[in-house]
Amino acid sequence: MGTEIDVRLTNVLNSGTAQVEDRFEGTTVVDLNVAGRTVIPAGSVMRGVVTAVEPATRTNRTAKLTVSFDQVTVNGRAYPVRGTVTQAIEGEGIKGRRDALRPAPVSARSSAASWAASRARSREF
């Protein structure tokens, strides 16, 4: 269990071209606060990786793209995290195309909150 963090993708992810292990980045949309202290400020870079891809076909027009987040950079220092996308909002793109996740907000459930809470207690920022 973790805390949801809103992340805006900076890369276009497309099930027709993406491959497993492709890297991508996004930035946090709002501050993550723990015990009244900002531990992950808005604008922090979240890095992730494509973990599974099923492109749409002529017979099955439903594409699937699974990604996970594995790193957050706060104040220039990178920290490992584990996160998965809980909700994706389709960004602007070609009308009628549903195979690309354009730069748009995603919500990621992540262990980043647990990590951030431990850093807040130990003041390692």
Q: How confident is the model at residue 91 (pLDDT cuts 50, 70, 90)?
A: low
pLDDT tens figures, 32-90: 888 899 989 999 999 999 999 988 888 877 888 888 999 999 999 999 988 888 777 65
Q: What's residue 44's pLDDT?
A: 95
Among 5-9, 20-24, 33-37, top mean pLDDT goes to 20-24
The pLDDT value given to residue 118? 47
Instruction: List the CATH code of the domain at 3-122.
Output: 2.40.128.260
| Residue pair 34/116 in contact by the 8 Å Cβ criterion | yes
48, two tokens: 């992730």
Read off the pLDDT of residues 97-114 as tens digits, 9 standing for 90 and up. 444 444 444 555 555 444
Question: According to the model, what pLDDT value does residue 48 have?
Answer: 93
How far is residue 101's CA from residue 99's CA, in Å, rounded to a whole number? 7
Q: 6, exposed or middle or buried, with CB in 10 Å at 0-12, 13-18, 19+?
A: middle
pLDDT at 42: 95
Rg (CA), the chain: 15
> What's phi and psi for 27, nearest 5 deg?
-125, 145
User: What's the confidence (pLDDT) of residue 117?
Assistant: 46
C-beta of residue 112 within 8 angstroms of C-beta of residue 81: yes
